[in-house]
Amino acid sequence: MRILITGANGQLGHELQRVLRGHTVIRAVLPEFDLLKTEVEKQVLAARPDTVFHLAAYTDVDGAEREPDKAMAVNAEGTELVARAVDKASARLIYLSTDYVFDGRKTSPYVETDEPNPLNAYGRSKLEGERRALACCPNTLIVRSAWLYGAYGKNFVNTIMRLASEKQALRVVADQRGSPTYAGDLAMALVRVLDMDLRGVVHAAGAGDCTRNEFACAIVSLMRGTVPVYPLTSAEAGRAAPRPPYSVLANRVLAEAGITLPHWKEALTRYMSERRKVKVEAKAESA
């Protein structure tokens, strides 16, 4: 199978390339592949894909609040260009979306049929991307994930690890609850989806849930650190973009298809162990 990955340099893109064995993988990355340019359609068609994982996006949540037009241009208009090309190629589109399409008013996990209502510009742009993808390419699967982290790029886990080694104390928001998801586990789930005729919307996030503060405490503990992690409110954090207070995802459709993701605690423990192993091996090689 010929598989095109947009945003292949991102944390999920790296993990997908690692696990997509036996396939021809084509990488589409900046600056050559730019969702703000109309050449995107021609580039997708030239790759002759059977499946396109559309991961490229404007992902700076606070930045999107300051640049809503750019976020919409990348995440919605750019996605439409990709979707039109995928449809012309008679291929399949798998589009990565987010828990931030929800407003957080629920107190039980969001299922695929719940009505989206984004609180911020980033969420609105990703939701519009979902709608355009489905409208332009019937053979589309929207995959909503949440609180994604991995070895590559900027994410919550790597940021907390860095801050815990630099500061004497941390303050982390305790009034946002979600589903931490390891990019390696999500990649494995997506590989299994390749063999299934799933369309529409699915949720794919780590099992269980926690607050950002609880997540940070778990990270520091696994670092064998003693840095205290104090609670902070979203209002005190003063971020530009409002976040949903509750955005836990239920992977109902994937579960019915026999696909489950590990509990976030198990995944985090495994990820931290892998990071320590890489550091030890790097030190040994440099000695």
149: annotated active-site residue? no
Q: What is the mean pLDDT of residues 66-85?
A: 98
> What pLDDT score was predicted for residue 287?
47
pLDDT at 136 over 70: yes
Annotated catalytic residue within 58, 122, 246, 271 = 122
Work out the mean pLDDT of the chain and round it to a whole number.
95
pLDDT at 242 over 80: yes
- Each residue's pLDDT tens digit, 182-195: 999 999 999 999 99
The answer to whether residue 287 sits within a structural domain is no
Q: What is the mean pLDDT of residues 107-135?
A: 98
CATH number at residue 200: 3.40.50.720
Spatial CA neighbour of 183 closest among 268, 260, 79, 87: 268
Instruction: Give yes or no for a contact between 242 and 119, defined as CB atoms under 8 angstroms apart.
Output: yes
pTM for the whole thing?
0.93
**Which is more confidently placed, 231 or 21?**
231
CA dihedral of 18, 254, 147, 274, whole degrees rounded to 10: -40
H-helix or E-strand spanning residue 276 = helix 264-286
Q: pLDDT category, 235, cuts 50, 70, 90? A: very high
| Cα gap 3→54, rounded to integer Å | 10
The answer to whether residue 279 sits within a structural domain is no
Q: Please tell me the number of Cα atoms within 13 Å of 22 on its side-chain side.
A: 2
- Each residue's pLDDT tens digit, 200-214: 999 999 999 999 999
Residue 149: give the domain boundaries: 2-155+180-207+247-262
Specify the 3-state DSSP secondary structure of 46. Answer: helix
| Cα gap 195→80, rounded to integer Å | 25
pLDDT at 33 over 50: yes
Our count of domains for the chain comes to 1
Residue 258 zone, left/alpha/beta (φ > 0; ψ -120 to 50; rest): left
The answer to whether residue 286 sits within a structural domain is no
pLDDT at 36 over 50: yes
The answer to whether residue 105 sits within a structural domain is yes
